[in-house]
Amino acid sequence: MFTLLEVILFVVYIITLYYTVFWLIAFVDYAPEQPSRQRRLPKVSVIVPAHNEELTLEKTCRSVLALDYPRELLELIIVNDGSTDKTLKIANSIRRSSKRTVKVLSQENMGKWKAMNAGIAASSGEFVACLDADSTIRNDALGKMLPYFSDPEMAVVLPMLYVDSPKNLLQKVQWHEYVINMFYRKVAGFLNCIHVAPGPFSLYRKSVLLEIGGFREGFKTEDLEICMRLQSRHYKIMQTTETEAYTEAPGTLGELYKQRKRWNLGSTLNILSYRGMLFNRKYGDFGVFQLPIIFLATFLASVLLVVTAYLSVLKPLSEKFIQLRLINFDIISYIVNYHPHFSLLDINFFRSFVSISFLCISISVLVMAHRAIKRKVVSHGLLAAVVFMFWYYLFLGYVRLVIIKDLLLGRKNKW
């Protein structure tokens, strides 16, 4: 007979398998939308919100100024969001030295969403791009992204996003995460199921931004909230694979924990805010399939972590504890008289099947995602790939377990 925990494990396995197979079928069956050729080049405003970004701001802005786009049709708007370091000084230096149009705005520290809205208000472009001050963009980006806006329903176009020059093991592990996320987002774009427009060079149609009232705080995840709002109004969001942006990844476990906690908690809270879209056929695949899966992922990951920890660690330890208690914790005698034995009857074939299946699915997705961008899985070392496979999702499971606790306690999201 299966125990209750094994039944729960099986349910999580089936949901995960269904979700993965769905995306793999979509990847094989759907062809990416081909943009029309542009008849004219529109003016584009690139907004860089910056709070205490003295170490990365100049590199970010130089990547914008190096874009392969006519000088008179591109403007850079740097919004200093209450920085206390040399961010404003560096921004003004870039403005004075550039041959392109560069505007510098300054405000009290009110958050990225407020900085973006200030930049939009000061912009003169027909299209507006957001670029985080710790990220860079490839110089062919506008030429590759703008043609998709020939579709009047297209609101946002996203570049591929990767970790910029990963140095330590943790950043190399995140490289694999980004590659897989881009793989899923590419397929999600085929079905108009994209739920987040990351800060590194998401390109918006300005008229749509003005129509919906610009950015909102969105539980400290404004890039996710605005996608939810756009999806609720049936606008299209496209992921192109033709150009790339690069971002700095957290270099310490503490920084990574805080960032992933903010992202995942913000995701859950925003979905709750737009809960009317859940399982609603009015919103197509996004409402019926994508949104429920994203929402359930927090709880499924937590359940999987707890069940795995109990079956693999806590239960065996408790059984050993009971055995030691029966011999009054005579550990020396226990070790001396211990005779290891192995029998096929000792193997839990159900759990072994689930574990092997999860492993095979994970390896398949990892390989396919890297092949899609013509990179080797071991491009950043075998160790990073192994750590990603066997540790990273346990880490995310723990993060999501903490999120459930915060939701129950009513705690707010923080930077």
In this predicted model, what pLDDT tens digit does every residue of 362-400 receive, in sequence order? 888 899 899 988 899 999 999 999 999 989 988 998 999
Distance CA 240, CA 209 (A): 20
Tell me: pLDDT of 1 over 60: no
Nearest to 402 by CA among 309, 296, 301, 308: 301
Residue 146: pLDDT band with limits 50, 70, 90 = very high
Mean pLDDT of 101-127: 97
Residue 326: pLDDT band with limits 50, 70, 90 = confident
Structural domains for the chain: 43-275 (3.90.550.10)
Tell me: pLDDT of 37 over 80: no
For 301, the token pair is 């990951």
Mean of the per-residue pLDDT values of the chain: 90
pLDDT tens for residues 272-317?
Answer: 999 999 999 999 999 998 999 899 888 877 877 787 777 778 877 8
Name the residue with higher pLDDT: 406 or 244: 244
pLDDT tens for residues 177-230?
Answer: 999 999 889 888 888 999 999 999 999 999 999 999 999 999 999 999 999 999
The pTM of this model reads 0.89
b/e burial code for range 60-91 (CB count within 10 A of at least 16 → b): bbebbbebebeeebbbbbbbbbbbeeebbebb
Between CA 149 and CA 205, with CA 138 as vertex, the angle to 5 degrees is 25
